[in-house]
Structure 1
């Protein structure tokens, strides 16, 4: 592959959790001289490296990886923040002649990357902090009433029990004076040449994926997932609303607090992971167009040169 080819190409690998995305991304990065770029909303957080299945030390040493574990877990990261992080990174990779291997399970990141989401404006810290403090003090129902006054269309789409989306909509309408619907027209600017990109979505058989999810969580436990959760329990790290939903973290914290036995916590985490994988697979099936190559398995041996 020439330098010009590298500047104009990318490999995008999407799929549900435990589907083999990371192994395929690593293989492409080795083959093409690429850099693996994270497109998973949980793998951005430090402190949950094991529970979010971030690359191993061996993988990190094998090829460059970017946008993994770079965000404080107390921060509520968003697709807009990821776009602001990934845009200059992609420019740097093109300049260096390295192929971005974008891999993850967060469908909205891929949609934004391909121009399907408008760029969201940055929200001033004072507005963000005000609404997040109010959410804790007043509860989501009260803020949903305020959203209904300021942005009725957004309030109709967002459940009164969804504080994260309520707060985000209030932040945006307050910062811009515009309803969020006006900023979500799907007319964003693509950050890659979609015609030149290799786009792959992994869809393993359901039974195989369920087994892989269970096996991987047990491997996480053996690797130290419980101690990872214990750091949050001891207050060494603080999980915000987003990082706090990392699969396995609430369950293991419940165990550490005496609410669940360890086997119960593990089983609940595995069940939640399987439910999440099903939602991911459904999203990819309905949202990705025919330009994406659907594969049951990574098929490392049949990769193109």
Structure 2
């Protein structure tokens, strides 16, 4: 019988963490984080990481495992996630991979292009050059070094621009060339992928309400603690949803109400991008057009149960 894994994905505030917890508790699973911000410590509340009580209910892995001073690439996460999936299988448990970072999930299920690890000094130089140049000028510089990738990327896509630069700088080959190579590292298993895709109005309302709850639960204190570390503003943890806005409030640049409104808008836009990505990039997933709630568990139970029993 082939090994099995369950992926529960979706945009922020869709209820995927609650569904993953319920599924892991019911089927003897280990919850494995696939959220690019929940891998970092410090921001438990602001990244909607499972509570300590939830983490004690069933095994949870890859939550808060890196300091915010580090960069977690898809390749690094894939390596850690594969190890946790194998450990779950060896323990006789079902890996339940959950999160909203689509590239992480695809890297685990389908594998990644065999791009070598980029040395940290080259990554730092690329980020510094981008900060000095700005989007438009950096895009023009990339067009001189790698016209193929520059033609594919919008000047506003800062993360991918920097990635394209650091790859050609470190390897001498365009990222486009690497992406044509066969993928490596995908799971040799049967994978059930569920994507929670609520109606937009309901999802946006959930995003707005959850952010205000985060503020009430101490998100501002978390951001203050993050600011005290004096980290590079270009690091991923410094760009987590709500961090730039709450930092601006702490610097006295906007009121808490203004910061919350700006963060809510950024969260809604991010959720919209996540929905679009999952619909277009994971065509084999089962799309569920609603948020998870306990009253729906019976339907999910039957579907997951059949998958786990199918040989």
Q: 2:63 matched to 1:68?
A: yes
Aligned mates of 1:141, 1:76 — CA distance in 2: 24
Map residues 159-170 of structure 1 onto 2, 5 A cutoff.
Answer: 159-170=154-165
Aligned mates of 1:105, 1:174 — CA distance in 2: 30
Q: 2:255 matched to 1:261?
A: yes
- Whether the 8 Å contact between 2:30 and 2:93 is mirrored in structure 1 is yes
Q: Work out which of the residue numbers 213, 220, 236 in structure 2 matches 1:219.
A: 213
Q: Work out which of the residue numbers 283, 298, 304 in structure 2 matches 1:301.
A: 298
Q: Residues 163 and 282 from structure 1, CA distance in 2 versus in 1: closer, same or farther, beyond 3 angstroms?
A: closer
How many residue pairs match? The answer is 299
Partner of 1:41: 36
Q: Residues 236 and 65 from structure 1, CA distance in 2 versus in 1: closer, same or farther, beyond 3 angstroms?
A: farther
Residue ranges of structure 2 left out of the alignment (5+ in a row) = 306-311
Partner of 1:26: 21
Normalising by structure 1, what TM-score? 0.89
Aligned mates of 2:85, 2:115 — CA distance in 1: 19
Deviations 1:225-276 (CA, angstroms, capped at 9, x unpaired): 0111111333366654322221111111111111111111112211211111
After TM superposition, which residue ranges in structure 1, 4 or more long, deviate above 6 angstroms? none
Q: Secondary structure at the match of 1:164?
A: helix
- Whether the 8 Å contact between 2:74 and 2:103 is mirrored in structure 1 is yes
Aligned mates of 1:187, 1:206 — CA distance in 2: 36
Normalising by structure 2, what TM-score? 0.88
Measure how far apart 1:293 and its partner are: 4.3
Q: Secondary structure at the match of 1:101?
A: strand
Aligned mates of 2:159, 2:193 — CA distance in 1: 31
Residue ranges of structure 1 left out of the alignment (5+ in a row) = none
Q: Work out which of the residue numbers 190, 194, 206 in structure 2 matches 1:200.
A: 194
RMSD value, Cα: 2.2
- Whether the 8 Å contact between 2:109 and 2:191 is mirrored in structure 1 is no
- Whether the 8 Å contact between 2:36 and 2:101 is mirrored in structure 1 is yes
Aligned mates of 2:8, 2:216 — CA distance in 1: 27
